[in-house]
Amino acid sequence: MRKFGRTIDQRRAFFRSLAANLVLKEKIKTTEARAKEIRSLVERLITYGKKNDLAAKRRLSGILPAAAAKKIYNEIAPRFEKRQGGYTRITRLGQRMTDGAKMVLIEILK
């Protein structure tokens, strides 16, 4: 697990924020390391949304803001009813000019 120079509490909040932005916008531009870390979190959240029960709904609400949890439960999870994983795509964009970091586009598939 990458630490990103943060304490565990800061890191959890950081991942939740990135995951919420990805869910709400369905596509974000970020560094490769960040994208690889949040991919597993977002895919797990979508799998919870597919379960379609109260426990899954509460788990989503505990991790994400209300708007993002509703979007997963009502819009995103039904899209992947028959799909077993692989809900996101990471596309490489090249390096950032300022510091040379590898940039990617992470998106939720349609």
Q: What is the identity of the amino acid at 10?
A: Q
How crowded is residue 70: how many other Cβ atoms within 10 Å of its Cβ?
A: 16
pTM of the predicted protein model: 0.92
Q: For domain 8-108, say whether CATH 3.90.1030.10 is its number.
A: yes
What are the pLDDT digits (tens) for 23-75?
999 999 999 999 999 999 999 999 999 998 999 999 999 999 999 999 999 99
Domains in the chain: boundaries: 8-108
Half-sphere exposure of 44 (CA within 13 A, CB side): 12
What are the pLDDT digits (tens) for 63-106?
999 999 999 999 999 999 999 999 999 999 999 999 999 999 99
Residue 107's beta-bridge partner residues? 27, 89
Rounded alpha-carbon distances, angstroms, from residue 20 to 60, 82, 94: 11, 24, 24
Q: Is the Cβ–Cβ distance between 102 and 95 less than 8 Å?
A: yes
